[in-house]
Amino acid sequence: MAGNGHSGADGAAQPRTQANREDGPSPRAAAPLRIRSVEPIALEAPLPRAVATPITAIRTVVALLVAVRDDDGVEGWGEVWCNFPRFGFHHRARLLTEVFAPALRERSFASPAEAWAHLTSISNVLRLQSGESGPIAAVIAGLDIALHDIAAKKAGLPLWRMLGGASGRVPVYASLARSDDVRPAVERALARGLRAVKLRSSGSIADHLAVVRPIRALAGASCAIMLDVNSSWNADAALATIGQLAEARLAWLEEPIPVDAPADVWRRLADAAPMPLAGGENMVTPQMFDRALAEPALAVLQPDITKWGGFSGGVPLARRIAAAGRRYCPHTFAGAPGVIASAHLLAASGSADGMLEFGVNHNPVRDGLLGCAPEDGMLDLGDAPGLGFDVDRRALERFTVPV
């Protein structure tokens, strides 16, 4: 719960003051990190109805949280991406406990970044043998978030400040899920002061326009509207018809085609597009980000902190994106730790025009812990140390799944 402290029995956050504030990107005279325990906590709740996506039909919302405790008893929280497949949290939880927890406990680390580099190095052969770059990167990312939470708590600093950010206030946009009743969800977002909305659709150009047109009429010309089609567009059809989306006046079009489509196809699509193209949530190796920055096709880059990099990889990447003149808008469609970590990363990135994705869909495993909401299009992270919230474990019990 951003900007807040310990939680009461009902899960609501109570104020907590910051101690030992200091400027700068890292804690002064930081003590080595020695990890005592790593605990995965899988959460799942049913959706009111099954929802078809371009990937699969989904019937639940899920999250895999990770609680890490150091030898001083300080607890940090992270999140491991596990949206697809929905049962994937079982596998990632085993990776946490059987592969990476022992590697963390076997030695001390000078910093979270050193631990991230160590875990990345020792898992390279496992990644090659298993072919599972995504799950391994996501597990390391979740641990890195938790380790940064510990380090910032021990330094008495909010993470955004420890990482060199100038302000803990970040712009946000409302991100709708495919399960949402679109018009009421947009009306609620506008009523809360949000002035940027991302819609989702799939199918033909007519299907996309059918989603965007009524929302453009509702929201007006001043509202930024983005459209995410989740890589569902055939490349030939996209090239032939993307110009017809000009009337929608989109702030960006997200993942019109798969991220691994040939570079020349992406370039041709960007040349034909009447709006900026966005992508990056499905990039899970440094080489993929290098290629994206070397090519001009993507004007908006959207790495996901829970999929790759955590803070150790994510902060340098975000600053590279900003330095390259691209728009940095971190992807996050996760639980509470993932959302708040993404906000701290955006605050530390130095991006002049970035926005945080803020899901407004029904998600009890996220919203019961989040405890914060944007006001007038901004999310205020506050000055509490670390991520800025502690988890009331009793609030998790009704959603916890054995792993």
Query: Using one digit for the tens of pLDDT, what is the confidence trace for 305-322?
Result: 999 999 999 999 999 999
Mean pLDDT of 19-35: 55
Nearest alpha carbon to residue 197 among 214, 219, 178, 171: 219
Percent of the chain with pLDDT over 90: 79
Selected residue with higher pLDDT from 60 and 93: 93
Tell me which of 14-28, 262-276, 282-296, 335-349 is least confident: 14-28
The pLDDT of residue 56 is: 76
- Between 179 and 74, name the one with better pLDDT: 74
Query: What is the C-alpha separation between 333 and 83, in angstroms, rounded?
Result: 9
Give burial (CB, 10 Å; 0-12/13-18/19+) of 326: buried
- Domain end, chosen from 110, 134, 160, is at 160
Query: What type of residue is 126?
Result: L
Q: What is the mean pLDDT of the chain?
A: 90
- State whether 209 and 251 are in the same domain: yes
pLDDT digits (tens, 9 = 90+) for 242-275: 999 999 999 999 999 999 999 999 999 999 999 9
pLDDT at 389: 84
Q: Which two tokens mark 74?
A: 């300080």
- What is the spatial distance between Cα 299 and Cα 284, in angstroms, rounded to a whole number? 19
What CA–CA distance (Å, rounded) separates 292 from 76? Answer: 32
Residue 6: per-residue pLDDT: 33
End-of-domain residue from the set 140, 160, 180: 160
Identify the band that residue 3 occupies on the pLDDT scale cut at 50, 70 and 90.
very low
pLDDT tens-digit readout, 111-125 = 999 999 999 999 999
Report pLDDT for 49. 78
Same domain? For 136 and 230 the reply is no
Q: Does 347 lie in the same domain as 224?
A: yes
Q: Please tell me the predicted confidence (pLDDT) of residue 116.
A: 98
Beta bridge partners of 40: 66
Q: Is residue 271 part of a domain?
A: yes
Give the CA distances from residue 363 to residues 138, 141, 328, 341, 377, in Å, rounded to whole numbers and listed in that order: 21, 22, 25, 18, 20
Average the pLDDT over each of 8-22, 262-276, 284-298 and give the range with the smallest value: 8-22
91 in the same domain as 146: yes
* 3-state class (DSSP) for residue 270: helix
> For the residues 278-295, what does the mean pLDDT come to?
95
pLDDT per position as a tens digit, 39-92:
999 999 998 877 777 777 788 999 999 999 999 999 999 999 999 888 999 999
On whether both 361 and 348 belong to a single domain, the answer is yes
Instruction: Examine residue 403 and state whether it is found in any structural domain, yes or no.
Output: no
Does 197 share its domain with 283? yes
Are 143 and 277 in the same domain?
no
The domain total for the chain is: 2
d(CA 257, CA 311): 28
Position 21 pLDDT exceeds 50 = no
> Two tokens at 242?
């993307």
Q: 365 and 248: one domain?
A: yes
What's the pLDDT at 30?
66
Measured at the alpha carbon of residue 317, what is the angle toward residues 315 and 321, in degrees to the nearest 5? 115
Does residue 219 surpass a pLDDT of 50?
A: yes
| % residues pLDDT > 70 (the chain) | 93
53 and 151, same domain (yes or no): yes
Say if residue 112 is in the same domain as residue 219. no
pLDDT digits over 185-201, tens only? Answer: 999 999 989 999 999 99
Q: How far apart are CA 143 and CA 368, in angstroms?
A: 22
CATH number, domain with residue 142: 3.30.390.10
Query: Could you give the 3-state DSSP secondary structure of residue 352?
Result: coil
Could you tell me if 147 and 177 lie in one domain? Answer: no
| 4 occurs within a structural domain | no
Looking at the predicted structure, is the pLDDT value of residue 298 above 70? yes
Range of the domain at 48: 35-160
CA count, 13 A, side-chain hemisphere, 195: 10
Residue range 155-180: mean pLDDT, rounded: 94
Of the pLDDT bands very low, low, confident and very high (cuts 50, 70, 90), residue 8 is: very low
Strands 298-301 and 57-70: unpaired
